[in-house]
Structure 1
Amino acid sequence: MIQLNLPPFEHKIKEIEGKICIFDAIRRKYLVLTPEEWVRQHFVHLLVNHYQYSKNLIRLEGGLKYNRLQKRSDIVIFDNDGLPFLLIECKAPEVTINQAVIEQASRYNHTLRCRHIAITNGLKTFCFEIDFATQGFRQLPDLPRRNIVCDSS
């Protein structure tokens, strides 16, 4: 796998039924190692070990509905009240982070209503704060810290 612009970590990789798999510490199982999964696992490690997010407040590939369509969010971080406050959309390293990717994360957030969205391909990461009152957003220099609360309206 390609080296990412995220901190390396002690990952567990093994072959299962002819497929290379990586251990997911959140779901506690091995998953097929795709380029997107490589990014997702690195980002989870960053969240837990560098930003001190609790593993108990992280949901990976959770289901959500958007316009009656079933979708999956890559990573959602919940606050201590169980409300989602950070949505993270992971892409494979070869996927360029562009307007279409930002719009995809925004559509998912229409349902979740997180105050923060991050988008990463492991090489570049962008984070935004959403203002639901004005329907605006602003780019942030870094990921939000754990004590920021989600908009519950």
Structure 2
Amino acid sequence: MVKIEYPALPFKMKQEAGKESIFDEVRKQWVRLTPEEWVRQNFIQYLVQVKKYPTAIMAVEKEIMLGELRKRCDIVIYREHKPWMIVECKEMDVVLNDAVAAQVFRYNMALNVQYLVVTNGNYTFAMETATRKGLEALPEFA
């Protein structure tokens, strides 16, 4: 498990028609604030503020094709213009179990990245795919 220290940031938020929205700095748009979106936006800020990843190398809700099915990766990080890391976000009360891992593994069939990350905001697991041993759990990621 990876220890995440989330930065305290004042998010841009607003209320519209009784629904709360948060400004996504990667997509440059307001999005409805759901429990999963809260985790996604906090993890994005962790990547930007703590890990120093520029938003220019991130895609949020990146559409991919799995056979004939359209799916969306929560966050894809690019290196040298190629997908490098997939981050799958779940709301805080979702247990990170085999089903969640299987979802990110399926997404990786389309993108073939070096790193896979799953988080529910409380717990975060990172795995490296390109090792001699196959899949390897990481105590921290790049």
Tell me which interval the TM-score lies in, with the shorter structure as reference length.
over 0.9
- Indicate the structure with greater strand content: 2
Distance 2:121 2:91 in 1: 7
SS of residue matched to 2:38: helix
Shift, 1:111, TM fit:
0.4
Partner of residue 135, structure 2: 137
Q: Which digits, 9 at most, give the CA deviation of each residue in 1:95-130, with x for residues without a partner?
A: 000011001000001101001000000000000000
State whether residues 8 and 42 of structure 1, in contact with CA within 8 Å, keep that contact through their aligned partners in structure 2.
Answer: no
Higher RCO (CA 8 Å, separation ≥ 6 residues) = 2
Distance 2:7 2:122 in 1: 11
Partner of residue 91, structure 1: 90
Matched, 1:120 2:122: no
State whether residues 77 and 87 of structure 1, in contact with CA within 8 Å, keep that contact through their aligned partners in structure 2.
Answer: yes
- Compute the TM-score of the two structures, normalised by the length of structure 2: 0.92
Displaced runs of 4 or more, over 2 A: 4-8, 131-134
Distance 1:131 1:24 in 2: 31
**5+ residue gaps, structure 2:** none
- Compute the TM-score of the two structures, normalised by the length of structure 1: 0.86
Matched pairs, number? 139
Shift, 1:133, TM fit:
7.3
Distance 1:105 1:73 in 2: 8
Shift, 1:16, TM fit:
1.7
SS of residue matched to 1:127: strand
Matched, 1:104 2:134: no
Q: CA distance change for structure 1 residues 121 and 103 in 2, over 3 Å: closer, same or farther?
A: same
Shift, 1:17, TM fit:
2.6
State whether residues 6 and 123 of structure 1, in contact with CA within 8 Å, keep that contact through their aligned partners in structure 2.
Answer: no
State whether residues 5 and 46 of structure 2, in contact with CA within 8 Å, keep that contact through their aligned partners in structure 1.
Answer: no
Q: CA RMSD in A?
A: 1.6
Partner of residue 57, structure 2: 57
Partner of residue 13, structure 1: 13
Distance 2:36 2:127 in 1: 21
Partner of residue 73, structure 2: 73
**Counterpart of 1:91 in structure 2: which amino acid?**
K
Identity of aligned residues (%): 37
